[in-house]
Amino acid sequence: MYFSCINCEEKYSINENIYTCRKCGDLLEVKLDIQEVKRKIKDEKWRSIPISVWRYSAFIPIRDYSKIITLNEGGTRLHFCQRLAQELGIKSLYVKNEGDNPTASFKDRGMTVGVTRACELNAKNLICASTGNTSASLAAYAAKAGLNCYVIVPSGKIAYGKLAQAIIHGAHVIRIRGDFDQALKMVFKFSCENKDVYLLNSINPFRIEGQKTLSYEICEQLNKPPDWIIIPVGNAGNISAVWKGFVEFKECGLIESLPRLAGIQAEGAAPIVKAFEKRVDIIEPIPNPETIASAIRIGAPVSWKKALKAIYESKGVAITVSDNEILKAQKDLASKEGLFVEPASASTIAGLHKLLKFNIIKRDELVVCIATGHGLKDPDIVLKMIDSTIEIEADLNSLINLIKSV
Ligand SMILES: Cc1ncc(COP(=O)(O)O)c(C=O)c1O
Ligand SMILES: [Zn+2]
C-alpha cells in the first residue's frame, strides 16, 4: 500500500505527512494492496459488523483500529422511491440518503478517517476551507478528538444551518471576503507552510478513503451494483471517491460489474461539464461561480482530473441543471417521497429527469441518486422560494371555514 501521484505516478510511503506530489504538484491517491485486502476479508468476520464506514476497515489505511475517532458514520438508508419512479416512468429509483450521517452530510465518512489519521500524526490543529458541510463535519470530529479546528468559509455564502453547526462544535470560524476557491488556495498554502496544522479538505487522500465506503454500502444494500450513480459535483472529491470504491470492490471480487457515473453540476458552476462536453482532459476554471446550491458553488474543483477520469472510465456523463430545476426536484423529493435534501443533493433528481429525456438512462435501468446532505441545513432557501403557510384567527370557526375552502 502506498500513495501514488495521479499524474506522474511517483510513489510515496503511506506514513508520510504529504498532500500532493513533491515532483509535479498533482494530487495523490492511496493504492491499496488488493491481495492483502482480499486476505483480510476472506474470514467474513467483517460481515457481522453493521453496515457503516468501519465495517470496511480492511479497505481503510489506518494503523490502529482501536483508536478511531468516530461518531458512528455511514450505514445511511437507501430509499426505494416508488412514487417518483412511477412519475418518471422508470423501474428502479433509489436515493441514498447521506443526510442520515452524524452531521447530516456525506462529509462525515471522510472526516472519521481523516481526523483519525490526524491523531496518528499527532496533529493538534485542523483546518479546512468549506462551502459549509466540510466545516460542520470537521468541527464535530475535531470536538470529538479534542483538537483545535479552523474553518475558512466564503462570507455570506454559506447556509445558516451549516454555519451554526461549525460554531456550536467550537470551531474558529473565519469568513473571507471571497469565494470557496480562494479559501481553498489559502488553506492549502498555509498548511503546506505550517506543518503543525493538518489540512482536511478532500485534497487529503484519507478523506477519499472514508468517502469511498458509500459505494461499498450501496453494493451491499442492493446485493449488486446499480446501473447508474447520479451524484452532485462541486470540488469533485466525492465522485472520485465513489468511483474508487466501486473499482476496489470489483478488484476484490465482491461485485462483477461497475456502474456508470452521471456527474451533475449547476449551470453557473460547471467547469467539469464544459470539459466533458468538449471531451477534453482539462478544465477551464469558472470565475465567480453562481448557483442557489451553495454546496456546489465551486469554479475551480481541485479533484477535476480524478473526476473526469472516473466519468470517462465509467462510460458516464456530466450534465448541468438550472437552479429552477434544482428547486423543483427538491420539492418533488420532499413532497412525494418524504425526503428533505439540500439543493445540491436535489440536483441529482433534476439530472435524472434530463438523462431520461435525452435517452441516456434507459427506463429499465437501476438508478441510485446520492442525496449528499440534509435539507434542514439550508431552510432559508425553502422559505424564500415557497410561502404556502396560511394565517387565521385563533378560533375553531376560522379553521372550519379554511379547511372547507381549500
Ligand atoms: C451537500 C453537498 N453535495 C455535494 C457536494 C460536492 O461534493 P464534492 O465537493 O466532493 O464534489 C458538497 C460539497 O461540499 C456538499 O456539501
Ligand atoms: Zn507527480
Q: Which residue ranges form the domains of the chain, and what is each CATH number?
A: 78-104+207-385 (3.40.50.1100)
Point out the ligand nearest to the CA of residue 271: 1
For residue 283, what pLDDT band results from cuts at 50, 70 and 90?
very high
CA 337 to ligand 2 center in whole angstroms: 46
Kindly give the distance from the C-alpha atom of residue 255 to the centroid of ligand 1, in angstroms, as a whole number: 26
Per-residue pLDDT at 159: 94
The pLDDT score that the predictor gives to residue 261 is 99
**Average of per-residue pLDDT values in the chain:** 97
Q: Which tens digit of pLDDT belongs to each residue from 211-250?
A: 999 999 999 999 999 999 999 999 999 999 999 999 999 9
pLDDT digits 0-9 by tens, 76-107: 999 999 999 999 999 999 999 999 999 999 99
Nearest CA to ligand 1 atom 7: 234
Protein residues within 5 Å, CB atom, of ion ligand 2: 5, 7-8, 10, 21, 23-24, 26
Residue 406 is predicted with a pLDDT of 83
Give the torsion sign (CA, 326, 315, 224, 104): negative
For a pocket test of ligand 1, which of 235, 347, 381 has the largest count of ligand atoms closer than 8 A to its C-beta? 235
pLDDT digit string (tens) for 370-395?
999 999 999 988 888 877 889 999 99
Q: What number is the average pLDDT over the span 38-47?
A: 95
Write out pLDDT tens, residues 115-167. 999 999 999 999 999 999 999 999 999 999 999 999 999 999 999 999 999 99
Residue 270 has pLDDT above 80, yes or no: yes
